[in-house]
Structure 1
């Protein structure tokens, strides 16, 4: 019925219930708990204990509720993450594409930043420092197919090479930054940011944008990634990056404004906590 959940803790069975033992009233969250020792009844506390804080009726919430780091948000952190320059405003061309009075968008690119994702192959390679047959064995033991991950990695690297080569041919300075090494300073002086990967890389790149810098998502492996947040898929044979870049430079595109959500928590004592950044999660 969802009104009671059992949980094992130090050999005891913890019963959580939404039903008040005295009144029988059902609450939207767990209100009481009791501990039962299966092999020794004397070790079992008598009766139900009222829970002073809500424990939500959700298995995932139960599993992670006690593991959320209690990090107090400082004003300095908020300003660093979400700072806005009072002297500057949004680029005059960054307007709604549905406004008929807005002319065709134009953008001048002198310097761009390419956010490069870490592929699963690179992650497995750096995990234990294995290569060759040792890496194949490691991937097999972890349930991965070596040839498939290697092919996906090579496809991604070819796409990134296509992007950087094309930008340099158009005399645009390009800086490649690994997604796991991103910082706010990495975007300093950039006219545009390209995320090379999938939706997770796009969200990671967006989480470090503090100024009105355009961000474009490039799907580097459309065969294995949906890339719903990406506006262009790169393929080494058909969809070359040069096609999308030339359209961009000509103004043959429309701006799409997206909003980010910042999530925080306030406990019963009134302290505010910032939830850990989870940039690789995408809701589709």
Structure 2
């Protein structure tokens, strides 16, 4: 009896808690490149014309169409498997993905890659509503945040059954809460992916705002006196309506411009800095932009070993052919940390160090990060998709809170 009971206990403890048994699932389907081109070139009505247009600029029309059809077939597979388990579903794309749609569902599934997963996460505020990512392009997309990563659609049926049986583990991915202090109310953020379809450069808004501000200055104070409207405004602190799952980027709208800001790590001093901007990430985001900013290449390691040998007079053994590769791998692995860890990582891009701007840590970890903008045309971007105006005098405080975590699943 005791042996049987032990086996039953093992089975029971293997099941995820709380269980995954949704009645209604919202499927957020990505806009494929083929669909994007169709929308972008809405004036082209004939398929042959679209084909000629894309081929004329070097894009492979047939490949885009095939990829689109494969995605649609995967979405159909998801729908049919949900129907088998009598789970109600709705399919939406980014333009119909709103708070009302999320509220309707017990769970959200994404059909796309990591970008679609990030978009889905931006609308999920509750720690209790699960987000399950399905990579519909296993050959062309890494799908790091997706449940099945690179498995084909033929495996989706068994994967869904595994979820419903509780044979998986919940992961609560930490997210970044952002509080902004400025002398104005929050403006409507720019949805960068939507701007592409509207043919509007992402910097247009900032140029318009800057021109408006310059015109106020030009119309300014002929007598040199300040009127009541120019007196210092009261500062307002507001929490941004989105949480960052991957990272927050702060910098100038045009990457060719130097970003000027003040930075405080935890309770340290507020330090003036110039760089190409700063990226602040979670454990989930530590595999993404943060990783690529900081990673070592084999070329760098090879050059460093040569310099160390030259300066120290000590020959480093080269009998192991994979030495340089192993050093690279070891360094790069330690950049990545647990998605559930309640801490931030930061990376300063191309920092400028000189007599005016002394050397500081270019990367590290923190519980809280404060950035005060000294920018003229700067922005704060959440997960590469939502951009907020962030100019001179505005302050942002980034932190991680347990109640903001996103509930996702991984197979054991």
Common fold by TM > 0.5: yes
Aligned to 1:219: 135
- Alpha-carbon distance in 2 for matches of 1:214, 1:177: 17
- Alpha-carbon distance in 2 for matches of 1:103, 1:247: 10
Is the 8 Å Cα contact of residues 220 and 234 (structure 1) preserved in structure 2? no
Aligned to 2:100: 185
Mark the CA change 1:142 to 1:213 in structure 2 (over 3 Å): closer, same or farther: farther
- Alpha-carbon distance in 2 for matches of 1:103, 1:266: 44
- Alpha-carbon distance in 1 for matches of 2:63, 2:29: 20
Is the 8 Å Cα contact of residues 118 and 180 (structure 1) preserved in structure 2? no
The number of equivalent residue pairs is 180
Aligned to 2:112: 197
Structure 1 residue matching 2:90: 3-state secondary structure? strand
Q: CA deviation at 1:128?
A: 1.7
- Alpha-carbon distance in 1 for matches of 2:159, 2:49: 40
Mark the CA change 1:125 to 1:254 in structure 2 (over 3 Å): closer, same or farther: same
Structure 2 residue matching 1:242: 3-state secondary structure? helix
Q: Which has the higher helix share?
A: 2
Mark the CA change 1:276 to 1:185 in structure 2 (over 3 Å): closer, same or farther: farther
Mark the CA change 1:102 to 1:178 in structure 2 (over 3 Å): closer, same or farther: same
* Map 1:102-117 → 2, pairs under 5 A: 104-105=16-17, 106-117=19-30
Q: CA deviation at 1:265?
A: 4.8
2:152 to 203, 222, 235: 235
- The answer for unaligned runs of 5 or more in structure 2 is 1-11, 184-231, 241-379, 387-412
- Alpha-carbon distance in 1 for matches of 2:39, 2:83: 30
Aligned to 1:124: 37
Q: CA deviation at 1:235?
A: 2.1
Q: 1:44-92 deviations in whole A, cap 9, x for unaligned?
A: xxxxxxxxxxxxxxxxxxxxxxxxxxxxxxxxxxxxxxxxxxxxxxxxx
Q: 1:180-199 deviations in whole A, cap 9, x for unaligned?
A: 32101101232211011000
Is the 8 Å Cα contact of residues 113 and 192 (structure 1) preserved in structure 2? yes
Q: CA deviation at 1:231?
A: 1.2
Structure 2 residue matching 1:251: 3-state secondary structure? coil
TM-score scaled to structure 1, two decimals? 0.57
1:162 aligns with 2:77: yes
Q: CA deviation at 1:278?
A: 4.9
- Alpha-carbon distance in 2 for matches of 1:101, 1:173: 29
Mean Cα displacement is larger for which, 200-209 or 173-182? 173-182
